[in-house]
A and B are shown apart, each in its own frame.
Chain A
């Protein structure tokens, strides 16, 4: 084995991969998965890690092994290495293998995307209006009226379509536990599909820089049982939605809510 550097490296690399993959998977990367979309994305990430670790280990093994075995030793100051200019077979392999891997990963990612963005005929619609620096959630009711809420209440297990609009600059809507996000863009309506699966309270965040209040632009999201949701919704009084483009509330000057107070400060609407 002493004179077979490739075999030595293969052994070192295999050990690296066997240790590396469990370590990479053991890291608690994601927050809790709170939607079917999140579940699919977490699985996708696990696959990406399993593919990535061997590639990184391969590169590192060659670098560190070369540093260890081929470093200049005393007396070799004037020595040159063997004049190897290339190896067609090897170059074909390291072009073709990544290509195959990439085709496979793209195909898999595409299937996850299709599944995550599947339309559900009975999906509940919520209109999200974003402005500097607040969210407003509207639940369409009969007669063009909307029940408006500063919190997003969602029934567990119910597919939801969010229709997002912005009245000023580009914002975004992201709930880490749901693993999906979309920008709210002035002038157009964007959509986001979520099927919440886990009861709890989560923060919705604006993740697109939208001005001075960007860091504080958050809203509470509550995933409740369908019964609790119906009760809550019945307590919201339907109103005609305010015309789009009404001046934004002055969030920044209303007492600078911190992260914790920002999520609880709008709990008045809960039932």
Chain B
């Protein structure tokens, strides 16, 4: 039987066929094992679904063609030499194919993540609609628990973490003078894992018993006693986690081995430093959440007894162990969601203040300090968990100490603003808004480190306020700053500055009106994750809900601006911001292979105001000479021009 060419060539047709094969495989394997084990009934929907959740995505990825090269190589068949015909995107359809070009992947990542931002945001609107009045509204408690669980999961695993990977995917190789990432095929695979994870999370709403509803923290044994939807979370997190780890390895190898000649570590832009630090966190920490969810999967599907501590004979699982393993990833994850943003802010503030970044070396070292310290604080999420009480004391101290490198970064950004020539356009406004709100999130973070106060406010709306000040006021503002800043480079078009400013002010004002009052109702005792609440919180909750609807609407301005500008915006110059870093020295959008000539780096990346200073020269090292003596030396302790 001849298989049509469309089904043999990598692509969506073959992927669809492989999906069918994957499901048949899952069905057959499950039935076979149940038959051998004398299980009844032999055909069990739950069991088939669990195996299919693992098998179908993997079959899909193979069908789509993410692994063709590797299979050819493994089987000893001639591999097709890369002719780069797939590089670049010529039509919108190219974004729906497996592509190994880091610029295409960067845009795939970013656009996919923003799609999930909208999904997560809509779920937030549902949450606030439910909470606008005390008493049960249109969602049942089960549905409500599902909605906020999916809200947090989607925004953490499908928005904040991957959107940073997306922006860095586009920008980072350009910044270090590399033609692509170190492992382009792995890069493509990393991307395609993501939408699968996201779709699986959303599909959990269709599972019998509803979506996963144990929070994004999925504490056992609540999670291990949940209906089938919970396993959509356990398995989707494996896909998102694998994507995250593969990308982090890719970044590490790219940064370590593919820097242009002359680009020493201390000539790297801080965005590169930030992604280097983030990638270290990801490769060390992410396997822990994978483990925690495998434990849940095994407990639920195969009746292991990791967390089965319901009091009684043969029930001696360790419930608190789940929380330790979970937070050993999920606290570093907070920095995974913040450090790349620090990198973006450093780029934006230096360029828009027209000044070198203040204390460059300390900025880099404080990132590394956060990486190390980030692994020593996880149990501060567990001050009321019932773990051994003494653990709280060292965790309080390390948590408070993290404020020091973070403070160094904030003060250095402030000093960079000082006496600069501030261009207050949209990226800069978002950067300054970030400074304000991240400071508030940092202050409430230090408060939370203080054990007695944390005991009062943990599991209340104070925590909800704090994490939104860090992840929305912090991360999302840096993401908006970054998207506006690199929009001309990524799309070759300029965005509408007036709409950008509207977007900023609406977001900034209504963000604070939404999340600011949550500090107060939290301290007054309103628990988080409740579908209804005491009447005394009614006024504030209505206020918060109304503010949040305007906040949600502000996203529409952004959406319109981005879509319209991408389509009809004025053409962008190569370097509209007069920035020194390498990505701005090539055309907008960059050429298919990034650089016609590999640049030689002769100075620091932020030498604004230094007469005649140059960061990179598009000549081989033998011909490239620094223009001014001293332009390449960046010291933290200079101050000679002060």
Contact = CB atoms under 8 A, between A and B. Distances in A.
Nearest to A167: B311
Secondary structure class of chain A's binding surface, majority of residues = mixed
A91 B412 CA distance: 8
B531 to A, nearest CB: 5
Contacts of B310: 167-168, 186-187, 245
Interface stretch (B29-37, B290-298, B434-442): B434-442
Interface in A178-213: 179-188, 190, 203, 205-213
Interface string B351-394: 00111101111100000000000000000000011100100110
B453 A176 contact: no
Contact of B404 (A78, A99, A172, A209): A99
B414 A62 contact: yes
B234 interface: no
Contact of A94 (B142, B408, B634): B408
A80 B609 contact: yes
Contact of A112 (B214, B393, B410, B452): B452
A78 B456 CA distance: 53
Contacts, number: 303
Given A81-B354, A106-B396, A183-B385, A31 B524 contact: yes
A109 B451 CA distance: 7
Contacts of A214: 141, 145, 529-531
A59 B450 contact: no
A31 B384 CA distance: 20
Interface string A93-106: 01100110010011
Contacts of B408: 91, 94-95
B642 A87 contact: yes
Contact of B527 (A81, A113, A205, A211): A205
A72 interface: yes
Contact of A259 (B134, B525, B608): B134
B439 A72 contact: no
Contact of B414 (A30, A59, A95, A113): A59
B289 to A, nearest CB: 18
Contact of A170 (B319, B360, B535, B610): B319
A174 B456 CA distance: 8
Contacts of A1: none
A82 B641 contact: yes
Given A60-B436, A106-B397, A203-B534, A98 B404 contact: yes
B142 A179 contact: no
Contacts of B432: 63, 67
A146 B311 CA distance: 19
Contact of B456 (A86, A179, A205): A179
B461 to A, nearest CB: 11
State the 9 A-B residue pairs at the shortest beta-carbon distance, nearest first: A176-B525, A187-B309, A207-B459, A88-B637, A81-B420, A83-B609, A190-B386, A215-B530, A81-B355
